[in-house]
Amino acid sequence: MAPPSGPATLTPGHVPAAVADAVRDPARVSTRAIDRVAYAADASHFLLTPRAVLTAADQDEVAAILRAASASGAVVTFRSGGTSLSGQASTSGILIDTRRHFRGIEVLDGGARVRVQPGATVRQVNARLVRHGYRLGPDPASEAACTIGGVVANNSSGMACGTDENTYRTLESMVFVLPSGTVVDTADPDADHHLRTREPDLFDGLLRLQRRVAANPDSVATIERQFRMKNTMGYGINAFLDYTSPADLLAHLIIGSEGTLAFVSSVTYRTVPLKRAVTTALAVFRNLDDATRALPALVDTGAATLEVMDSTSIRVGQGFAEAPPQIRGFVPTDEAALLIEYHATAAEELAGLATQGARVLAEMPLRTVAEFSTDAQARALAWKLRKGLYATVAGARARGTTALLEDVVVPVPRLADTCNGLQELFLRHGYD
């Protein structure tokens, strides 16, 4: 990644003529400082000022831009909702806004499927699905602002999506545009033939890699182990084991590729039935170790959400105007909290799940008894604590410091040791 360039060191804006010409309306090509600075930050701590901001109007225009950029060696990056936390949506090259003109949503089969353009937000899609009793599988907490393009390109998930309901698992088909401008629609029965004809090197390369992976038992075992977990680091190379059709394989490599392989022009998802019966508990443990060691048993009960919060989180949460009662009335030292939630289609099923969860919790060393609640207000308080944490911690940080956020994934039985190890590292190196 190029070094950060702030407004103080703003270089002159520039777009190669062929790239600018690929945009039909010159008003949608901007090298003005005000536009470039406005797009310099996403939700991460990186600041990269683009050389220019292009606003693409449709798939053909993106194809023309990519073709021209490839020919001239220009670096382009897609920007959609701009809520990425690791700098994926920022660049010191050319930024292409692919949100504004890509908002289409088409509900199919009474909501069982939905075809979406990449600029629609998750919330907008779910608002169209709710009346049919369905929702999208991926459920990032940023759903109000993040878009399908970003969800696909980051393989975003959320508090309840797990590894079964992410884009990789719920994608039915995808239309994508390659750097050469070639458009592939995986719903087309001739997609593989089209890919082989238009992109023979890519087609052969995919098959060669697939054979190499499949022929190596160590590679197969590593991929199976790594992708059993919620692993979104790097390319989704599990696609080499899961798909035989090169077009489908490529579509699944594009998921999680952070915009580096292709432009996602349209996606058809298999949706997930809405489970409207929900019950939530906020359990406070004596320490983080106890809380994380409770997780495997709770995972086995089929919990939809298990969110761990450490003593610092509890301390921050106690300062909220409406802190949940479970975390009030004590000075946190080592305590940790677990937000546990079950989802069901019917009240009876929900009661059964809550009974199982309560049984597990009854055997755990809790600070006080934890109770499941279907009460909307009690649930909202618990969720407000969880969802408000990052913004509050980041907002309250000392001047000149940075809030760092990275996802890590470890097998559930190793979580307790990982958390303890991380705490030790933070202490040793002076991180709050």
Ligand X SMILES: Cc1cc2nc3c(=O)[nH]c(=O)nc-3n(C[C@H](O)[C@H](O)[C@H](O)COP(=O)(O)OP(=O)(O)OC[C@H]3O[C@@H](n4cnc5c(N)ncnc54)[C@H](O)[C@@H]3O)c2cc1C
Please give the residue whose beta carbon sits closest to ligand X in the complex: 150
Our finding on whether 59 is near ligand X (CB under 6 A) is no
Our finding on whether 137 is near ligand X (CB under 6 A) is no
CB 341 to ligand X: min, Å:
14
269, 165 contact by CB (below 8 A): no
Q: How far apart are alpha carbons 102 and 242 in whole angstroms?
A: 30
Q: How far apart are alpha carbons 185 and 193 in whole angstroms?
A: 11
Our finding on whether 156 is near ligand X (CB under 6 A) is yes
Cβ-proximal residues to 71 (8 Å cutoff; 6+ apart), any chain: 18
Tell me which residue has tokens 């919060």. 309
Our finding on whether 306 is near ligand X (CB under 6 A) is no
Q: How far apart are alpha carbons 25 and 64 in whole angstroms?
A: 13
Cβ-proximal residues to 186 (8 Å cutoff; 6+ apart), any chain: 173, 174, 175, 245, 247, 248, 251
Q: How far apart are alpha carbons 404 and 41 in whole angstroms?
A: 15
Our finding on whether 50 is near ligand X (CB under 6 A) is no
CA 63 from chain centre, in angstroms, equals: 25
For ligand X, the closer of residues 158 and 357 by Cβ is 158
Choosing from 63, 89, 136, 206, the residue that interacts with ligand X (CB under 6 A) is 89
Our finding on whether 175 is near ligand X (CB under 6 A) is no
Q: How far apart are alpha carbons 83 and 142 in whole angstroms?
A: 7
Residue 109-128 contact track with ligand X, rule CB under 6 A, x = bound: ---------x----------
Our finding on whether 78 is near ligand X (CB under 6 A) is yes
Q: Name residues contacting ligand X, limited to 260-289 (CB under 6 A).
A: 263-264
With contacts defined by CB under 6 A, name the span among 155-163, 184-192, 237-245, 374-382 that binds ligand X. Answer: 155-163
Cβ-proximal residues to 360 (8 Å cutoff; 6+ apart), any chain: 294, 297, 298, 301
Choosing from 35, 42, 61, 165, the residue that interacts with ligand X (CB under 6 A) is 42
For ligand X, the closer of residues 45 and 286 by Cβ is 45
> Left if phi > 0, otherwise alpha if psi is -120 to 50, otherwise beta: which for 68?
alpha
Our finding on whether 141 is near ligand X (CB under 6 A) is yes
With contacts defined by CB under 6 A, name the span among 82-90, 214-222, 269-277, 331-339 that binds ligand X. Answer: 82-90
Choosing from 50, 82, 246, 256, the residue that interacts with ligand X (CB under 6 A) is 82
Our finding on whether 150 is near ligand X (CB under 6 A) is yes
CA 14 from chain centre, in angstroms, equals: 31
Choosing from 59, 92, 98, 268, the residue that interacts with ligand X (CB under 6 A) is 98
For ligand X, the closer of residues 262 and 353 by Cβ is 262
CB 368 to ligand X: min, Å:
29
Q: How far apart are alpha carbons 304 and 161 in whole angstroms?
A: 8
Binding residues with ligand X: total (CB under 6 A): 32
Choosing from 30, 49, 59, 84, the residue that interacts with ligand X (CB under 6 A) is 84
For ligand X, the closer of residues 118 and 137 by Cβ is 118
Greatest Cα pair distance, the chain, in angstroms, is: 69
Our finding on whether 151 is near ligand X (CB under 6 A) is yes
Residue 172, phi then psi, degrees to nearest 5: -95, -45
| CA-CA-CA-CA torsion sign (31, 35, 41, 46) | positive
With contacts defined by CB under 6 A, name the span among 24-32, 141-149, 355-363, 416-424 that binds ligand X. Answer: 141-149
Choosing from 80, 279, 305, 326, the residue that interacts with ligand X (CB under 6 A) is 80
Closest residue by Cα to residue 240 from 308, 168, 305: 168
In the complex, the residues that contact ligand X under the rule CB under 6 A are 42-43, 77-85, 88-89, 98, 118, 140-142, 146-147, 149-151, 153-154, 156-158, 258-259, 263-264
